[in-house]
Amino acid sequence: METSSDDSSGEAPRMTTTSRHYFGGDSSQLDHHFSVDIIENVEEEYGMFVWPCSIVLSEYVWQQRFRFQGISVLELGAGTSLPGIVAAKVGSDVILTDKSDNSEILSNMRSICDQNEVNCQILGLNWGEWDSNIFDLHPKIILGADVLYDTAAKKELDHNQAYLRA
């Protein structure tokens, strides 16, 4: 684990770590198809660390990888983007989305993509808001893990999913 801070800001150090997730075997260096490194910050927003269902969904994507090859996949509320990164690693054309007003999460998503050498489109997407950048998106599969921690957002999430599936 590494900590980083700007001593001149007077803020407490940030707890940043990189977690490694293995797919296609055990965690030995010799018995897996690939690994995904995720940059996490456990002191920040919800979207800055890997949630348990994200790991489960990522394993599902790996197990069903033949269904994901060569298709468009959109991850809603991607945060650290583990399922979307796995989809990209198995051959999907991936669009990662999270709140457009949280530049730290979107920047972290870009860093994670770079670190894992995958090319994903990253978009800010606020549920219930119709932004021109989503009008041409028609993904074959929509992923979302641990996205509904605020039940007040369910209606907006439903509207976005319905539009994206149309």
For 109-134, how does the pLDDT look when each residue is reduced to its tens digit (9 = 90+)?
999 999 999 999 999 988 777 677 67
How does residue 163 score in pLDDT terms, banded at 50, 70 and 90?
A: low
CA distances from 152 to 27, 91, 143, 149, 155 (A): 39, 34, 20, 9, 7
CA distances, 103 to each of 27, 92, 130, 141 (Å):
32, 25, 19, 25
Looking at residue 27, its pLDDT comes to 57
Nearest residue to 57 (alpha-carbon basis) of 125, 144, 129: 144
Residue 17 lies in a domain: no
Stronger pLDDT, 129 or 44, i.e. the higher one = 129
Q: Is residue 6 part of a domain?
A: no
For the entire predicted model, the pTM comes to: 0.82
Left, alpha or beta for 70 (phi > 0: left; psi -120 to 50: alpha)? Answer: left
DSSP 107-138: HHHHHHHHHTT---EEEE--TT---GGGTT--
What is the rounded average pLDDT of the residues 53-78?
96
Residue 148 lies in a domain: yes
In a domain, 8, yes or no: no
On whether residue 125 sits in a domain, the answer given is yes
Q: What pLDDT sits at residue 146?
A: 82
Average pLDDT over residues 139-151: 83
Is-contact 124 99, C-beta < 8 A? yes
Q: In the block, which residue shows the tokens 């219930």? A: 128
Domain assignment of residue 84, given as a range: 45-165
Backbone angles phi, psi at 67, to 5 degrees: -75, -20
Higher pLDDT, 151 or 17: 17
Look at residue 24 and tell me if it is in a domain: no
Does 72 reside within a domain? Answer: yes
Separation CA 96–CA 126 (nearest Å):
13
Mean of per-residue pLDDT scores for the chain: 83
Q: What is the pLDDT of residue 138?
A: 86
Read off the CATH number of the domain in which 155 is found: 3.40.50.150
C-alpha span between 97 and 99 (Å, rounded): 7
Categorize the per-residue pLDDT at 3 as very low, low, confident or very high, splitting at 50, 70 and 90: very low
Nearest to 44 by CA among 97, 5, 83, 84: 5
160 vs 104, higher pLDDT: 104
> Domain for residue 124, yes or no?
yes
Residue with more model confidence, 153 or 34: 34
Rounded CA gap, 71 and 62, in Å?
Answer: 14
Q: Specify the number of domains making up the chain.
A: 1
